[in-house]
């Protein structure tokens, strides 16, 4: 139901977000798909003007192409039509197709999860224009396999290399490099076995148990289970590499310098609980009063009043790390989970976690440390690391 609502919302945004105001486009450059754009940049596209609001997304193009992509309104503001008509001339035609698009989504949404899951089991579905596909899905089209690089509402695999790329086989087929099973369990444990976990963290503190991680992963069932097996393994490796960097190989439970980390601003829980310090704890080194408040509310725990819980219970510690990984954008453009499953690459997970300090040349040695760990962990899991490792 949630997936269906997301696509309906996207289609409605595409169909009805146009503005009828006029804009003087004289001297305004034309939009070029895939070019780099920063916040505030103004371009023209299809006789309308748009201003970039999220540079990272504006620069991606494809689904964020202004006035065209299904998610464009998340990246651009519509400044109006160059001739005073806005982009409303296309509203009637596009809005008339919204209801039919929505109805096709309704009929196909019930089969999305089965189609996606089958892509990882050696029985890839035949492509259909009536299906919604997600990054990592693999389909059979005219005798060849194609891997979805980005979410799309059923685009032809041969039309755009942004949304699809050829792949040699269906994951799970005999001889496929991504078909080997690693854990033999369900969910996260089928992606990373306990033996592999121990290999990644030979000197870890006994507090950080594999069982605690598996239990925490059950709270976030999409973690390391979204997309095909290659995508799943890459996400697991990316998360564990960042957690390793934050904790010295899962050695430290608490930050050495135990500062107050009280922002002084009110949170939904209050400002700061008397006598409590919100220094880094757990695999992600959860810090600051507002993060303890928000994480606690999401997990059903009062971490604001009792932040020490994160350092006292292994499952709780892992859950806070996965909460941040799955839901928080941090210093980046999106949660780390989305960067991995949508193909933005490992470098964008670094940006989300500590990009304001490390990325764009801030601390290249720290970035390289994370990359090296990721390369080690992908090797342990038997998967290639993909592209865009740096930030």
**Band of the pLDDT at 61, cuts 50, 70, 90?**
low
Residue 105 has φ and ψ, to the nearest 5°, of -65, -40
Provide the phi-psi class of 172: left if phi over 0, else alpha when psi is between -120 and 50, else beta. left
Residue 134 confidence (pLDDT) above 60: yes
Entry pTM: 0.56
Rounded-to-integer distance, Cα 101 and Cα 46, Å: 22
pLDDT at site 128 = 82
> Average pLDDT in the 67-88 region?
72
- Active-site annotation holder among 131, 149, 246, 358: 246
Model confidence at 219: pLDDT above 80: yes
Place of tokens 């804009």: 23
246 in active site: yes
**172-186, 250-264, 315-329: least confident range:** 172-186
Whether the pLDDT of residue 374 is over 70: the answer is yes
pLDDT on residue 107 = 34
Kindly report, residue by residue over 161-204, the tens digit of the pLDDT.
667 777 776 764 433 333 333 344 568 999 999 999 999 999 99
Cα 73 versus chain centre, distance: 18
Average pLDDT, the chain: 79
Q: How far apart are CA 139 and CA 164, in angstroms?
A: 10
Which stretch of 10-19, 129-138, 323-332, 376-385 has the lowest confidence by average pLDDT? 10-19
Q: Across residues 318-328, what is the average pLDDT?
A: 95
């Amino acid at each position: 139901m949630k997936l269906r609502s997301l696509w309906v919302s996207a289609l409605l945004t595409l169909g009805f977000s146009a503005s009828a105001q006029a804009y003087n486009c004289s001297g305004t450059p034309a939009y070029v798909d895939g070019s780099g754009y920063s916040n505030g940049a103004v371009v023209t596209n299809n006789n309308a003007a748009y201003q970039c609001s999220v540079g990272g997304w504006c620069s991606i193009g494809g689904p964020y192409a202004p006035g065209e992509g299904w998610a464009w309104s998340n990246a651009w503001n519509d400044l109006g039509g160059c001739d005073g008509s806005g982009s409303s001339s296309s509203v009637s035609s596009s809005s008339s197709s919204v209801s039919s698009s929505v109805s096709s989504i309704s009929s196909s949404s019930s089969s999305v999860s089965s189609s996606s899951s089958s892509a990882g089991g050696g029985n890839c579905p035949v492509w259909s224009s009536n299906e919604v596909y997600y990054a990592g899905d693999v389909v059979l089209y005219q005798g060849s396999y194609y891997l979805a690089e980005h979410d799309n509402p059923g685009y032809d695999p041969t039309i755009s290399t942004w949304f699809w790329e050829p792949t040699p086989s269906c994951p799970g087929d005999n001889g496929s490099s991504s078909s080997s099973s690693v854990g033999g369990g369900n969910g996260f444990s089928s992606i990373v076995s306990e033996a592999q976990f121990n290999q990644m963290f030979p000197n870890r503190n006994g507090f950080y148990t594999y069982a605690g991680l598996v239990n925490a992963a059950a709270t976030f069932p999409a973690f390391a289970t979204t997309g095909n097996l290659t995508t799943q393994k890459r996400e697991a490796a990316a998360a564990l590499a960042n957690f390793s960097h934050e904790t010295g190989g899962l050695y430290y439970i608490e930050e050495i310098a135990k500062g107050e980390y009280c922002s002084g601003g009110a949170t939904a829980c209050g400002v700061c609980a008397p006598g409590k310090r919100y220094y880094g704890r757990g695999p992600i080194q959860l810090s600051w009063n507002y993060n303890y408040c928000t994480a606690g509310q999401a997990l059903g725990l009062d971490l604001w009043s009792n932040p020490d819980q994160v350092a006292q219970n292994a499952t709780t510690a892992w859950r806070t790390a996965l909460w941040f990984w799955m839901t928080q954008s941090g210093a980046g453009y999106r949660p780390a989970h989305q960067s991995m499953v949508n193909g933005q690459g490992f470098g964008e997970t670094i940006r989300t976690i500590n990009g304001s300090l490390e990325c764009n040349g801030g601390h290249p040695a720290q970035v390289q440390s994370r990359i090296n760990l990721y390369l080690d962990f992908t090797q342990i899991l038997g998967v290639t690391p993909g592209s865009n490792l740096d930030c």
